[in-house]
A and B are shown apart, each in its own frame.
Chain A
Amino acid sequence: MTEPTPTPSALLERTGTLAILRPSQHVRGLVPTAPPPEGALDLFLFLDDAGAVMAFNGHVDLGTGIRTALAQIVAEELDLPLAAVTMVLGHTGGTPNQGATIASDSIQVSAIPLRRAAAQARHHLVALAAAALGVPADELIVSDGVVHPRASGSNAGISYATLLAGRQDRLMLEDSVTLKPAGDYRIVGQRVPRVDIPAKATGAFVYVHDVRVPGMLHGRVVRPPYAGVDAGDFIGHSLIKVDEASVAHIPGLVAVVTMGDFIGVVAEREEQAAEAARCLKVEWKAPPPLPELKDLAQALRANPSTTRVLADQGDADAARAAAAIPMDRTYVWPYQMHGSIGPSCAVADVRDGQATIWSGTQNPFPLRLDISILLGIEEADIEILRFEAAGCYGRNCADDVAADAALLSRAVGRPVRVQLTREQEHAWEPKGAAQLMEVKGGLNADGTPAAYDFATSYPSNAATTLALLLTGRVPANNPVFEMGDRTAIPPYAYDNLRVKAHDMAPIVRAAWLRGVSALPNSFAHESYIDELAAAAGVDPVEYRLRYLHDPRAVDLVKEVAARASWEHHTAPRQEVVDGDVVRGQGFAYALYVHSKFPGYGAAWSAWVADVEVNKRTGDVAVKRVVVGQDSGLMINPAGIEHQIHGNVIQATSRALKEEVSFSETAVADKEWGAYPILTFPEVPVINVVLMPRPDDPPLGSGESASVPSAAAIANAIFDATGVRLREPPFTPERVRAALGNPLPPEPPAPPAKKRPWFALAGAALAGALGMAAVALPIRGAIAPITRPDPASFSADMIARGRQLAALGDCAVCHTVPGGTVNAGGRALETPYGTVYSTNLTPDPETGIGRWSYAAFERAMREGISRDGRHLYPAFPYTSFTRTSDTDLQALYAFLMSQAPVVAPTPEAKMAFPFNIRPLMAGWNTLFLRPGQMQADPARSPQWNRGAYLVESLGHCGACHTPRNLLGAEKTGAAYLAGGMVDGWEAPALTALSKAPIPWTEAELFSYLRTGFSRFHGTAAGPMAPVVEELAALPDADIRAMATYLASFSGPVPADPVAQAAALQAEATASLRPLDSLGGRLYEGACAACHAESGPTLFGVRPALALNTNVHAARPDNLIRVILDGIPKPAARDLGDMPGFRDSFDDGQVAALVRYLRAKFAPNAPAWSGVDEAVALARANPGSH
């Protein structure tokens, strides 16, 4: 099912049709669009002789069911079945320009002409029937689109379709049309299932994300570092350079497009575009600092503003001065996100001065204007095809991405689909603005309010479409919008009232979010009246009713209080539920007033929230919300009820959990861990109270129910605890602080660690090595041979050699990622510089094709190349030297029988003095102990077999044994005691292991065989390919390796299963998902796959409480797994772990790492140097 896109001109050419038209209107909204051409007509309604009925509306369905509600209205007036009506919404080429879809206006404003059009069409069709049937019109009735005489028993009817045969009726929409009386409604007011849900539930629905057009390419954008900031001279002027060579290797890349600060990449396939965007090296100027946004009240006070007085009656100053109890209060609202579940997406086809844009925009006509400015083409040459997208609640990045796609399409001359990343949507969506509400007032001695002097500061803006700013087409000059005034006038009759709006420029990119400024303003109004009631010793509902004079409001307040079993109280009750948990009930009411001041009301809404607060932990649970709404005539009560549920849940989420955090220069929250939203277990029970008002006009119900939310919850927390919270979100930290009960803060980061050992190595080297080197001759070359015929080796020998190559991990180092196996060229970073692995294929010039067995054996046993040059001990010949002759011969046979590949090896880039290869001779004298491995007769054959595999080709010690200052493996007790490789820690395999449950033979076998041990975790980093290679070895060999390695372990645990369960239970009980940044990140980003109680998902579920990396002496491995995930798991049963390099900043990674350590390794000391280790790991991604 795709959105229908009939063009009006094509429809109007047809005969057998009826159309209702209206002259196109010039919409001057917040963003005025171009005037329509002279004489242009908008099509509102279209019927044809085949029974089609199409209704057109310029607004869009944001997932709120507008499509269904409008169809109900049309079907009602036309006396048609609901299913007969098709709604066409929000296409610039086909629907009327009715401005932006904002403020839940669609039902209140845009439905009116549609309803009239339908009624007018019905009158016209009935008149036609009257003529055809020879019956007066007032004796005809219509049922299901068939007109027939009222007289009972008569079956002489004629359908709309039949009536239209051969006609081409074009009617102009009349201003006054007789509408159907509400009492006759059969469809409007019914609980009607939404028309879109079956397709959405089966994957048949086409969202904008699902649009595919022929020849389409895929694009991604790369955004500047000033994430979420859209005003200032630096916007559009911060790019220093783009290194296109950094993505040259990516297959399928079509273009890198740069204009000002706009950067995009286009590729044939989506993952190629994503990879190019990830890899593209871009240099930016450092963005300027943001104001300190941790103290929002101060930041808003300091932001320059102009003041509008919205109301001034009585004498607020004098009354405030005379108050018996002065009560000045400050309420603060945080920046919040729209947080659409799907990051925005669009497809654009820009060619030959014409543009077609498939978009999820909320505002098709304003977007068309933006695209016109951006591309410099006429609005008339641009068509916006509107498709549904993920729910938006105001303004997300839908317009931004449409403009991005337009730029990229124009650059490559083909259609381009651009999908924003989660990180980009989070960082760049225009935020719901922060807001400051300050009240000066107080209570008179008789308990009446003395004065209400209210000032609101709201830094919102138009959130100009990003590409216009990034390319410099439009200056980033912070237009100030007058939008802080929504519901700024309190609903209560205060005798001495003054209301001021401080209009101000945005601080960060912001736009309207559900409830706009009305939600924060009502938070202040409704908290304040609660404070007055408490100070006066009066029940909060009773106190409100004294000053609330709007009769519909009064009805609603009383009804909701009654339905919630409101418990009359004159002071906070602090009722204990159990132990530290107390319970409370809170009330709030609001009429959402929107549009330009003074605006008009949408639906009336009232809340009773029941909360439970844990006074020790600060946890707040909203247990139940009774929410009432008066939205006049309800077109589709089921739809309204669902909307109310949605508003309650989203608003509860905002009140309890949500607050955007900022780095010094940008938005910091880039995924759902840093910016959490309400989850299923946290959802309250919701009881909806709908006020029946069938005779009053329908009112928008898109957002009204969210407006009383935060105040009702704050008032309930006050009832439960006696403590007043004036700044959401009501997180445990805030609640504890308000209760004077802060838990000890997380331990501070200890001082930086000492210099790494390898930094000292260079100093010691020149002397020691140089001395040894002079004692040894430079070795000679071994004569080249002609490549031996592979047929001279037995198949069996080659097969054995192949296994041995896997054991030796030859291909791991001797293959570049994605390249030909064993052709070499992989860069290996060592503390002494970069070496490149050599070509192990039998190519005569660049590989080992001319190597005799003797030359091969010398390389394996002594680290000397055929030509006599010394190899660096990054090649683990000190282990390989122990291989048996027969195994070396088999390995040689295998290597020589591979297909030769021409691949020269790049020169090593070693630091002095390591760049002098002959010095390696000295190194060998000191550290090489050549010769085959000898069995230990005191041990079992299995142990000896394992020892041989581990110590020779397996070369486990190369990583797992610490090295001395000269980079040689230490010996004795240090053997297998843990080392570092490529930035990863290879943990100790001996009793020095930090694993909470010691390794056993069984777990070693499981780990080496499958890549996973339930008691230790998953093979990651350099170990993942090792396990993958070991798949070539038989179980018996893996078992032998496990036997040998287990002989180094500590004592075998008595009951590891019980021990593991206890460790996990202890950790799980200590988790605090909302309490700290680390806690939030774990819950949002890690827990789905790692929490013990998480959903069953494909792959393994590594228990962090048992994980070796969490218990390690250093945080490096944990940091690296968080940054880069496990890109190539060792086996296909494990599942995959994503990396968070582009999702978390360094501070977030460090916070997460500290949290994981504290919670999952509670008995281990806190790590020192976490911040430095994170920075180091980010700067040196390594090759794993």
Chain B
Amino acid sequence: MSLPEHAAPVSFEVNGVAHSLDLPRETRLIYVLRNDLQLNGPKFGCGLGECGACTVLVDGVAARACVLTLKSVEGRKVTTLEGLGTLDLPHPVQAAFITAQAAQCGYCLNGMIMTAAAFLSRHPAPTLDEAREALRYNLCRCGTHVEILRAVMLAAQAMGAGSTAAGAATTLEGADHD
């Protein structure tokens, strides 16, 4: 509190664009992304950090934007679903979700894709069980889990992780259709 709460605008980067916003530092990031920057990717699901629907990347690490304050992202790089890739140029994880048809209502999808992208950047060749654990705290009510897991394993394969991921993906397919 060495400075007044509103003293200086908060500067940070979102999807490669620098922003400087004159807002209180305790403002939750999700409101700023959705309302000020009009980015629809992050979704409001619980506001409590429980469901993951609001996930973004902060300096490449998954973060729950419903809980995170502007203060926490000051001077950092934020990536949203829109910044990960686009309709024309999707990120490999997005492409895998499209291929695997991994959505019903799709409301949870932002969280699934962002969490999976962050996870795969750290664990390029996960086993199926590791992928399940990585998404344990991302909730989906439509029951799209099977397609989502398939997408994550597909993405791991596409991102060039070699044989482990490919093998694991086959295991899922095999298990699913045996």
Contacts and interface: CB of A to CB of B under 8 A. Distances in A.
Interface hub of B31, B75, B84, B106 (most chain A Cβ within 10 A) = B106
B178 to A, nearest CB: 7
A28 interface: no
A705 to B, nearest CB: 10
B46 A64 contact: no
B40 A1098 contact: no
A911 interface: no
B61 A1096 contact: yes
B58 interface: yes
A206 interface: yes
Contacts of B35: 218, 269-270
Size category, A interface: 35 or more
Contacts of B136: 679-681, 1094-1095
Decide if the interface of chain A is mainly helix, strand, loop or mixed.
Answer: loop
B26 A642 contact: no
B26 A649 contact: no
Contacts of B41: 203
B158 interface: no
B158 to A, nearest CB: 14
Contacts, number: 277
B72 to A, nearest CB: 5
Contacts of A683: 132, 145-146, 149
Interface string A658-680: 00000000000001110001111
A677 B87 CA distance: 32
A815 B34 CA distance: 31
A1084 to B, nearest CB: 6
Nearest first, the 8 A-B pairs at minimum CB distance are A63-B105, A649-B143, A203-B41, A646-B143, A391-B105, A1098-B63, A1088-B137, A200-B106
Contacts of A642: 101, 104, 144, 147
Interface stretch (A283-291, A335-343, A442-450, A1108-1116): A335-343
Interface in B12-68: 24, 26-28, 31, 34-35, 38-41, 43-53, 58-59, 61-64, 66-68
Interface hub of B50, B72, B81, B118 (most chain A Cβ within 10 A) = B50
A546 B144 CA distance: 36
B46 A671 contact: yes
Interface hub of B53, B64, B69, B175 (most chain A Cβ within 10 A) = B64
A650 interface: yes
B126 to A, nearest CB: 12
Contacts of A1093: 133
Contact of A1096 (B47, B53, B118, B149): B118
Contacts of A422: 45-48, 50
B141 A680 contact: no
A193 interface: yes
A174 interface: no
Interface string A994-1022: 00000000000000000000000000000
B165 interface: no
A197 B40 contact: no
Contacts of A1084: 50
Contacts of B62: 1095-1098
Given A1085-B48, A1135-B63, 5 more contacts: A389-B105, A671-B50, A1028-B1, A1095-B62, A1098-B59
B82 A203 contact: yes
A203 B110 contact: yes
Interface in A1059-1111: 1084-1085, 1087-1089, 1093-1099
A204 B87 contact: yes
A391 B72 contact: no
Contacts of A4: none
A889 interface: no
A821 B68 contact: no
A341 B43 CA distance: 10
A309 interface: no
Contacts of A806: 2
20 contacts: A199-B87, A210-B40, A340-B107, A341-B43, A342-B45, A391-B105, A419-B44, A677-B139, A680-B132, A680-B133, A806-B2, A811-B2, A818-B5, A1025-B1, A1031-B2, A1088-B49, A1097-B62, A1128-B26, A1129-B72, A1133-B72
Interface in B97-151: 97-98, 101-110, 113, 115, 118-119, 122, 129, 131-149
Contact of B86 (A202, A687, A1134, A1136): A202
Contacts of B6: 818
Contacts of A196: 103, 106
Given A342-B45, A390-B107, A672-B51, A648 B61 contact: no
A271 B66 CA distance: 11
A453 B20 CA distance: 71
A1098 B71 CA distance: 13
A392 B141 CA distance: 9
Interface string A188-205: 000001101111111111
Given A687-B178, A1095-B62, A201 B50 contact: no
A1132 B72 contact: yes
Given A271-B28, A646-B143, A681-B132, A201 B97 contact: yes
Given A64-B104, A1099-B63, A391 B5 contact: no
A474 B59 CA distance: 52
Given A200-B106, A205-B106, A645 B143 contact: yes
B85 to A, nearest CB: 6
Nearest to A648: B143
Contacts of A388: 105
B107 A341 contact: yes
Contact of B144 (A212, A645, A821, A1099): A645
Interface string A637-663: 010001101111110010000000000
Given A196-B106, A422-B48, A638 B69 contact: no
Contacts of A1025: 1
Contacts of B148: 680
Nearest to A200: B106
A1138 B122 contact: no
B85 A672 contact: no
Nearest to B105: A63
Contacts of B38: 212
A934 to B, nearest CB: 31
Contacts of B45: 341-343, 390, 422
A844 to B, nearest CB: 22
Interface in A187-238: 193-194, 196-207, 209-210, 212, 218
Contacts of A679: 136-137, 139
A953 to B, nearest CB: 15
B94 interface: yes
A241 B15 CA distance: 46
A1045 to B, nearest CB: 23
A853 interface: no
B50 to A, nearest CB: 5
A82 to B, nearest CB: 15
Contacts of A650: 141-143
B157 interface: no
Interface string A384-412: 00001111110000000000000000000
Contacts of B94: 201-202
A1143 interface: yes
Nearest to B83: A203
B53 to A, nearest CB: 6
Contact of B176 (A687, A1088, A1129): A687
B63 A1097 contact: yes
Given A203-B39, A650-B142, A645 B106 contact: no
B50 A1085 contact: yes
B66 to A, nearest CB: 8
Nearest to A388: B105
A857 interface: no
Contacts of B115: 1095
A40 interface: no
A715 B64 CA distance: 40
B140 A341 contact: yes
